[in-house]
Amino acid sequence: MDLIINLNKPKGITSHDATAKVKKIFKAKKAGHTGTLDPIATGVLLICINKATRLSSYFSSLDKEYKAVMKLGEVTDTQDADGTVLEKSDGIEVDETMIRNILKSFEGEILQKPPMFSALKYKGKPLYKYAKKGVNIPLEPRKIYIHHIEFLNMTVPFICFRTVCSKGTYIRTLCHEIGRKLGTGAHLFELERTAVGPFKVSDSLSIEDLVDIAHQGGIYPVRKKASLELSNGVYSMDNALSWMPGIKIKEPLLNAVKNGAPVRVKDCQDFPHDIKNAENIKIKSPDGELLAIGRLQSDKNIVKMDVVLASQ
C-alpha cells in the first residue's frame, strides 16, 4: 500500500505527530510528510506512505497557497501567536490602500531570512533548539518567490490575505516583514495552507475521515490498481504525480529499468514531443504500472532513472 494522503492537518499538533497518526491508521512501515506546517497552522499536509516516501522531494518542491491572518501592533520572538511579545505599538494607523500597496511590494523574487524558531538544521540540530537556549545562529537570506499576494479583508489589528509562493517561504516571516514595512510590527495570527500544487484543501481528509476509510477497508480492495485514484484525498503514486508526463517502455526493457539502467528514447512507446521540456518523466510498463521517475538527457537521447519504484 504505497499512497499519498492529502491530510487536513488540525490546529495544535505538529506535522510530525500528524504523520505518526496517519502511519498508525494505515499500519504503514514508513511514512513522511512533504513540508512542515507549524502547530498553529491547519490545511494541506501531504503524507507519503511506504514506497511513496521516495517521491517526497517531487511534492515538497511544488508551490504553496496560504490564507493568513496577521495581527498588527505586536512583534513576537517566534513571529507567530505562540511566541513571546517583544514589541508593542500603541497606535495603529493604516488603511486598505496602504496595506494593498505594501502587500504587492512583496511580489516577485525576494530575499527572506529564515526564522530562528524553525525546523531548519544547523550542524545537524534544528534551529529552534538553539533559539530556546538563546543562541543566535547567523543565517543567510534565501531567495524565495511570491507569485501572488492578495488582500482579503481587515478588522484592525487583524489583516487577512492570500498568497501563492515558492518552496521555502515562511509566512510568519512574511508577516513580520510586512509589519516592519507598515511601521506597526506584526506577527502571524492564523494560517491555513489551502493548496500544495494541484492538491487543494477542499479535497483533503481529516484524521477522522482516514480512520473511517481504513476501518471500512475502502483502500485495500483496490491497492493493486496502481493507476486508479483511490478516493478524494487518497492517491496512488501515479495519480498523485498527475502533472508529470509519462512514457511506456517496451517489454524487454523491464528488468533494465528495475535495475536503474537508462533506456534509449527509441525503445520507448508513446513518447510525446513536448516531453522534452519536462523536468521529470514517469516511466511505466507496457500495461501502465509506474516503474520509475526519470529525466530526459536529450543530448544522449536517453532517459536516465532518478528513482526506481518497481522491485525485481
- Is residue 304 within 8 A of residue 297, CB to CB? The reply is yes
Axis crossing angle, helix 15-25 with helix 207-216, rounded to the nearest 10: 10
CB 280, CB 244: distance < 8 Å: yes
pLDDT confidence of 129, banded at 50, 70, 90?
A: confident
* pLDDT over 90 (residue 270): no
Give the tens place of pLDDT for each residue, 23-58: 999 999 999 999 999 999 999 999 999 999 999 999
Q: How much is the pLDDT for 231?
A: 56
- What secondary structure, in 3-state letters, does 37-103 show? CCCCEEEEEEEEEHHHHHHHHHHHCCCEEEEEEEEECEEECCCECCCCEEEECCCCCCCHHHHHHHH
As a whole number, mean pLDDT of residues 251-265 equals: 88
231 DSSP 8-state letter: B
Set of cell numbers at residue 251: 517489454
Q: Using 50, 70 and 90 to split pLDDT, how confident is the model at 274?
A: low
Looking at the predicted structure, is the pLDDT value of residue 80 above 90?
Answer: yes
Query: Which H helix or E strand runs over 34?
Result: none
Domain parsing of the chain, residue ranges? 3-62+198-239, 64-189, 244-308
pTM as predicted: 0.90
Q: Does domain 244-308 have CATH number 3.10.450.50?
A: no
Q: Rounded to the nearest 10 degrees, how much is the dihedral formed by the CA atoms of 215, 219, 221, 222? A: 180
Mean pLDDT of the chain: 88
- Return d(Cα 235, Cα 38) in angstroms, integer: 24
221 burial type by CB count under 10 A (0-12 exposed, 13-18 middle, 19+ buried): exposed
CATH code of the domain occupying 64-189: 3.30.2350.10
17 in catalytic set: no
Catalytic residue among 2, 38, 80, 238: 38
